[in-house]
Amino acid sequence: MTRKKERGQLIVLSGPSGVGKSTVIAELLGQRDNIYFSVSYTTRQPRVGEQNGVNYNFVSREEFERMIAADELLEFAEYVHNYYGTSLKLIQEKLSAGIDVLLDIEVQGAAKVRERCPDALFIFIIPPSFEELSRRLHRRNTDSEDVIAGRLEKARQEFREIPKYDYLVINDKVSNAVEEIAAILTAAECRVPNRSHMLAQFA
Amino acid sequence: MTRKKERGQLIVLSGPSGVGKSTVIAELLGQRDNIYFSVSYTTRQPRVGEQNGVNYNFVSREEFERMIAADELLEFAEYVHNYYGTSLKLIQEKLSAGIDVLLDIEVQGAAKVRERCPDALFIFIIPPSFEELSRRLHRRNTDSEDVIAGRLEKARQEFREIPKYDYLVINDKVSNAVEEIAAILTAAECRVPNRSHMLAQFA
């Protein structure tokens, strides 16, 4: 079911590396109408298999710095000499058109979005257990033990930020996590202030 | 999907006569586990077909006044010389056992619950239009034109209380309204404070 909306909702999704966020997001986008996944901008080089406009919008350092100067970014950060950021303009266009916008963003970026867009929905995804997170990172078979240990330590730090989020979703099973996120979005649509335009006829 | 809960949620459902609340509630209760519909207490006589413990708990005036004196009621009101009220004790037992409790209650009763239980979820159900509400009241074929006019006027007064509610659900179709209420309940379960017990293992 899709009801007409005055304005889309901004949704910030965070969670540790290995929790399965990409799978959950892909599933959610497949099930839901009127939702747009905001692809980040970066100055780093594409990896094998990565597509421009799908995984990232790949731009030059000059272009990224122009975007910073023009205040075109909702948030950005520099990691290992590369910029990563979120375009504000595209998000605003989608929200005004009544389309929800989903951001996949780590905890520091989320903190910046919270300052500028306190009305966004902040959702944190956790694994069913720390051991399961470790198992999933090992199963990916892409990282060395050192890198995995680093990711797990980073996860512990990220978990400390959960109290700043609105919702906590457990990815024990992709379908459960997707169901919970879908419920959070539907419930937010039902909030009285988001439906005040429906009340005029009853006044 | 049902996840273990520390504590149930109290849900207050209001909406005008004729909006289809009973049908929506029956459908919701059939679909969802761990939810208990709180049957009101009343001193009025059962009507033909009404069952004690199902439609109402029918009690004597003496018993009802004892419950008032013993502070056993979450809210109560007197209409046309009859008392109507909600038992607090049973609700507390269910909530402590991790079971959600649903109250079907009009706007004055809801206002009293809001004072005592500000953490409850307050949901108001509206028809798709005022004309449709009128059609539904006529279709029931149980009330005279005068009574229907009175119900529609009361509905207009009730609609003014909507800004005090958290959520607005539209009963254009029973399945849509049930889906929205179910989403509101699931989303509330995902709120970070309601899941803090899941975080201990990640600390």
pLDDT at B96: 95
pLDDT digits (tens, 9 = 90+) for A1-40: 667 788 999 999 999 988 999 899 999 999 999 999 999 9
Top residue of A167, A175, A189 to mutate, by most chain B CBs within 10 Å, is A167
- B69 or A49, greater pLDDT: B69
Q: Is the Cβ of B4 closer than 8 Å to some Cβ of chain A? A: no
Helix, strand, coil share of chain A (percent; to 5): 45, 20, 35
pLDDT at B2: 64
d(CA A11, CA A13): 6
- B4 or A112, greater pLDDT: A112
Mean pLDDT of chain B, nearest integer: 92
Cβ count near B20 (within 10 Å): 19
Give the DSSP per-residue string, B24-73: HHHHHHHH-SSEEE-PPEE-SPPPTT--BTTTBEE--HHHHHHHHHTT-E
Among partner residues A159, A165, A191, which is closest to B166 by beta-carbon distance? A191
Given a contact cutoff of 8 angstroms between Cβ atoms, the answer to whether A195 and A98 are in contact is: no
Polymer length in residues for chain B: 203
Q: Is the Cβ of A163 closer than 8 Å to some Cβ of chain B? A: yes
Mean pLDDT of chain A, nearest integer: 92
d(CA A95, CA A8): 4
Top residue of A12, A19, A152, A168 to mutate, by most chain B CBs within 10 Å, is A168
pLDDT digits (tens, 9 = 90+) for B128-158: 999 999 999 998 877 889 989 998 999 999 9
d(CA A35, CA A181): 12
ipTM: 0.90
- Residue owning tokens 């207490």: B41
Q: Per the CB < 8 Å rule, is B201 touching A169? A: no
d(CA A146, CA B79): 72
Give the DSSP per-residue string, B76-142: EEEETTEEEEEEHHHHHHHHHTT-EEEEE--HHHHHHHHHH-TTSEEEEEE-S-HHHHHHHHHHH--
